[in-house]
Amino acid sequence: MPNAVILDAQSLGPDIDLTAIRNAVTHLEIHQQSTTTQARERLVEAEIAIVNKVKLDADTLAQLPSLRLICVLATGLNNIDLEAAKAHNIAVKNVSAYGTASVSQHTLMLMLSLANRLPRYQADIADGKWQDSDFFCLQEHPTLQLSGKQLVMVGQGELGSEVARLAEAFGMQVTFAARPGNEHNDQRPSLDELLPTADVISLHCPLNEATKHLLNKERLAKAKPSLLIVNCARGGIIDEVAALEALRNGDIGGLAVDVLPTEPPKDGHPLLDALAKAEPLNLIVTPHNAWITPEARQNIVGLTADNIRAWQTEAH
């Protein structure tokens, strides 16, 4: 069996059992974090690189003659130079559907929180408005009953389909939009057709040329002022600056994102600035943690072990 090196085990979080991967290889070397430069040193004798977000570029792959397989502990492959891997006869395998229950749960949490104006009411309580009220409840921020409302989904994969199923349990009317960039060959209605009547939009599509800033200033201008937007896909699918402006102006009703264009956002971001200033907005930002239930993280380990065994079978 081959030798394997995990470059960024810390990305799996605490209390994760790596036994399934250990049982699939001869030796497993574990590093909690690695830079690309460190990856070159640590993978010199490895046949398998196991990586989440460490960048393995063409220069790095060219210096690793023993490497035969890259196992990505995620669905996205943006950090791997796939052309270079192919040129060096290095197989690349990712994992998918490991966090369907986790991410769909998080998506519904964001949707429900926006619908019930949770950010606004939490801020009001912190400010003492309920405590000082003459009435037994606060009603300043009208909430949205999801039953009977129109949910537009962009992305009909396993995750999008599960979010739709959960939303239907709340009585929502769910419509999937045509694949962005392929509207002419898709029988489903386009996002532009659906946008004016949408009550909620939930994004579950990849980030590519067709989806970058899919929800931009022009499209947001066509939306209902009560529209809620949830993005648990990739940062940049929404033009976050335009969406923030629309939210401030009352042109949309709520915005919740689990992703930003640069992660971690070390140089800041306008959405984070708005939260830091405690602006009175129906706005939620979560730190790309929709996927992090222990069950989902453990699934990644099992699926990665499956990928290693499948590669060994294919190689022989």
User: Which residues are part of the catalytic machinery?
Assistant: 234, 263, 288
- C-alpha 306/C-alpha 46 separation (Å) is 18
* Residue 2 CA: distances (Å) to CA of 72, 89, 278: 17, 16, 53
Neighbours of 126 (CB within 10 A): 10
How many residues does the structure list for the chain? 316
CA angle 249, 252, 255 (to 5 degrees): 105
Burial 200-224 (b: 16+ CB within 10 A, else e): bbbbbbebeeebebbbeeebbeebe
Phi, psi of 267 (to 5 degrees): -95, 10
CB 296 within 8 A of CB 99: yes
For 62-75, b where at least 16 C-beta lie within 10 A, e where not — what string?
eebeebbbbbbbbb
Task: Judge contact between 307 and 95, C-beta under 8 A.
Answer: yes
Residue whose pair of structure tokens reads 């209390």 in the numeric block: 15
**Distance (Å, rounded) from C-alpha 198 to C-alpha 153?**
10
| Distance in angstroms (rounded) separating the CA atoms of residues 252 and 229 | 8
